């Protein structure tokens, strides 16, 4: 069985049109319509991916006051 995938959107009147199919005229085909599932925004494990990163004073030492020098 040969498969051909097309992504399209349902028209406002509820119809669906698929054109330029790569099959010969008169060929019998089976049409199966699947609704694409949209991933939920809250289930993504990388919620900060693509967000801008801002560094405040990136060249300053971290926790400078926590270091003590003993003679």
- Span 18-71, pLDDT tens digits: 888 899 999 999 999 998 887 666 666 787 888 898 888 888 877 777 777 666
Give SS3 for 24. Answer: coil
In this prediction the pTM is 0.45
Question: What is the distance between the alpha carbons of residues 23 and 31, in angstroms, rounded to a whole number?
Answer: 13
Question: What is the distance between the alpha carbons of residues 68 and 60, in angstroms, rounded to a whole number?
Answer: 17
Question: What is the distance between the alpha carbons of residues 47 and 41, in angstroms, rounded to a whole number?
Answer: 8
């Amino acid at each position: 069985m040969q498969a051909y995938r097309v992504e399209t959107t349902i028209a406002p009147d509820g119809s669906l049109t698929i054109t330029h199919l790569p099959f010969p005229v008169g060929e019998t085909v089976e049409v199966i319509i699947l609704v694409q599932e949209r991933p939920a925004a809250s289930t993504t494990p990388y919620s900060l991916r693509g967000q801008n990163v801002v560094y405040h004073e990136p060249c300053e030492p971290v926790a400078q006051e926590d270091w003590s020098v003993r003679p």
